[in-house]
Amino acid sequence: MSYEIVRTPLEAQPVLYCSGRVSMDEITTLLGQLLPKVFGYATESGATMVGPPYVRYLEFGDNEIALEAGLPVAPGAVGKGDIKLGELPAGPAASTIHTGPYDGLGAAHEALQAWVDSNGTSPGGPPWEVYLTDPGEVPDPADWKTQVFLPIGS
């Protein structure tokens, strides 16, 4: 699959999220636990959700990955317990849209890294994915759209 990479200026975005650490083959299971928990809390607490859910990949180990899963909210939201209030960072990023099943997202991340390498920049922080398509509304994985961001430095 070919990816169009664009330089994207980002504004800081408040988020509610939960964190976890799992093996690569357990990511889907963990996200199936974390995202509904964050959605439920956001609804219960009266937070205003302002966009689709995301997953940010904080740390890659040999057999594990540390991640946070959540959703963007309007200012004024508060965290509670293991649901934290945080922020997706402001600054320049490279981004692309992946169309298709989630198991193909690795190619989008690789394309972003190759773009960063070939454009004389460097990663400026952990990458994240924004799930633009709700699988409950669009059942065919071939039609799912995910935007992938990689913050860039100088």
1-34 confidence digits (pLDDT tens):
799 999 999 999 999 999 999 998 899 999 999 9
Q: Is 1 contained in some domain? A: no
Q: Which two tokens stand for residue 48?
A: 């205003």
Is position 67 within any domain?
Answer: yes
Q: How many domains does the chain have?
A: 1
Assess if residue 47 is contained within a domain: yes
- We report the CATH number of the domain holding residue 116 as 3.20.80.10
Residue-range definition of the domain harbouring residue 78: 6-151
- Give the pLDDT confidence of 134-149 residue by residue, as tens digits: 999 999 999 999 999 9
Cα–Cα nearest to 133, from 147, 145, 148, 120: 145
Cβ neighbours of 134 (radius 10 Å): 11
CA dist 102 and 19 (Å) reads 20
The model's pLDDT over 93-121, given as tens digits with 9 standing for 90+, comes to 999 999 999 999 999 999 999 999 999 99
Which residues make beta-bridge pairs with 6?
A: 95
Residue 91 falls within a domain, yes or no? yes
Q: Which of 21, 57, 16, 68 is nearest to 38 (CA)?
A: 16
